[in-house]
Structure 1
Amino acid sequence: MTERIPFNWPHMTGKELYYIAESHFNGRLAGDGPFTRRCHQWIEARAGCSKALLTHSCTAALEMAALLMDIQPGDEIIMPSYTFVSTANAFVLRGGVPVFVDIRADTLNLDESLIEAAITPRTRGIAVVHYAGVACEMDAVMDIAKRHGLVVVEDAAQGVMASYKGRALGSLGHLGTYSFHETKNVISGEGGALLVNDPALAERAEVIREKGTNRSRFFRGEVDKYTWQEVGSSFLPGELVAAFLWAQLEEAERITQMRLDAWNRYHGLLEPLESSRQLRRPTVPAGCRHNAHMYYVLIQPEIDRQKVLDALKLAGISAVFHYVPLHSSPAGRRYGRTHGALDVTDRQSECLVRLPLWVGLSPEKQELVVQVLADAISAQS
């Protein structure tokens, strides 16, 4: 059957092409132009970070974080296994060793109670991942990091416009990263940002982003020429990407609210299925303000997830699972190691189903998704 309800549909505010045309007309195509500056200022004001720097992806921002941490071969970084490959790749590229720790059963975030036992003399940092835009328990994470002299990197790829105890995700660790990929809430096709929360790292971050040069200082008139300062790469996006992103950031509050409306509608429709113990709905702890990045359900282990996905597909509904845990992947076994059993990671990853969620998804379509899902689960009960 032809797909009637796609898993994702990129939302356009209507100003993207106008701003791109403005950049084109003004002859500003390379990075760090007027639209990039607007985006930087918006993120810095919204998150309260010391410096925000647009990158061509969240992956690039994570790679910058690894460079800023001076990761050396053998250095260990504690992280969840239930995450995208970029969280680990960024450190592996510098010779670092991901140490995979289990996740919490409620939020699917790194289990903060397991971090301290995983620390060794080689541990350099903790990379937390705010799954589905729901914050990790950052007070506990930062306390552990402070006591052990570790750097905390927030992979907030899914966390734009979400917060923890009133503070924006990405602004709580020493470094934070955002994604503006087409599949995220606020988009630029591809794109990301590094949030520098430790002011001592701000100047180095600029240098690393500009191929290892102090080019940014030169353009601000702080030096009379720019030269190679240290290892870096070309991490900045072009101005057309920033122009597109600016159109989205201007509407970020409205976009977030529309997604929350759809998320809350799913949450209400699915309450009876949770009450009858056919599935479990997402958990949002007190103090966490999420951004409705995704709506997932956890079906019972005895239910065949593939049959559920097949039933949804047959009805023209695109629903998907999520990460294959990194510790079970060929590269994860080669480059990383696990600390303790990852039973929750293994169990939850095999039960999770992500439902379609995007701006403009109608209540009628959401009702259809829930009905087909309920029928597919009941058929196996």
Structure 2
Amino acid sequence: MEDWDEVEAVRAVDREDMLSVVASLPEQIGYWLQRREEVEAIARRLRSPIEVLVTGMGGSGAAGDLLEKLFEDEVKVPILVNKDYEPPASVRSGTLLIAISYSGNTEETLSTYLLARRRGAQAVCIASGGQLSLYAQQRGDPCFQVPGGLQPRASIGYQWTPAALLLHELRLLRSDLPTALQETVGVLRRQNEALGPQVPEAQNPAKQLARALQGKVPLIYGCYGPFTAVAKRAKNMFNENSKIQAFWDVFPELNHNTLQGWEGVSSQNASFAILLLRDPEEPPRIHQRVELSKTLFQQYAPVHEVWAPDHPSPVVRAFAVAHQLDFVSVYLAILNGMDPTPVPLIQELKRHLGDWNGHA
């Protein structure tokens, strides 16, 4: 697509307007900032947990990944992430389960919720409706009702923010999360102005990166910690929005395996492109590893760096990179003439699976 600087031409491909949904991320976060009284009321109903288990799949599951990685250096109890039909053996009465399913009908999440409740875990649900909301109502569990009508992957702000604010209200976090969220909203709004479809490719970093990735398999390498979750989610956005294969990894682990795998790849392989997700706050030893690895990677594939803004909050930095990559994944779909919203293969699988019978 050569005329993607024309807004009408973009809309002809992006028929369900995924670009506008991507741009709504700051408003999604702000939605829950305006409803903190609801979060506070739910927190008062809960006992202080000895562990938090976040269960969810796909776009909803990304909320759990971000909770775990963004807060691992400050949270007072372990945060576990579950993406299966059954909760881990540690789940018991001291566990707080946060069950997230945008549709409310994700069978793995429903199964984990029911099994965890049978073991005595207290539970909070996040859904736009569906069976999960009904289960919560029947059992007297609090449920954050999120606005419906979106693809789960495009509603990360609606799903992640109430869970994060809940941890804050339970005094499990040491940082000033509400202030960080307010600042995140401001940063993302400014990114919308710089990355939106009205900005031509010559001045738009997201369009430029999409152009560089056309015809490539993105290999997304997070620099460390919070960017583990960002890299994983970006891979999923390329899968679902761009309809291409993509893979993710993270420093320093990839220096112990993935790096060596490049030896068998022909020099400057045309099939791959590496995205390094960088952070101004990456620790010195990690910084050294990334810089040395970049030099080695460049022998085999083009390397592109996506830098987080210079900001003291990891929440701001991580969401800024995730938001930019969301734009990139949608622009790549448009560049390839693909409507980014539908996920027909996923829907076909669900049709063949049929209704869930309550058993894994």
Fold agreement, TM-score > 0.5: no
Answer 1 or 2: higher relative contact order, Cα 8 Å, separation at least 6.
Answer: 1
- How does the TM-score come out when normalised to structure 2? 0.31
TM normalised by structure 1 equals 0.30
Larger Rg: 1
Q: Greater helix percent: which structure? A: 2
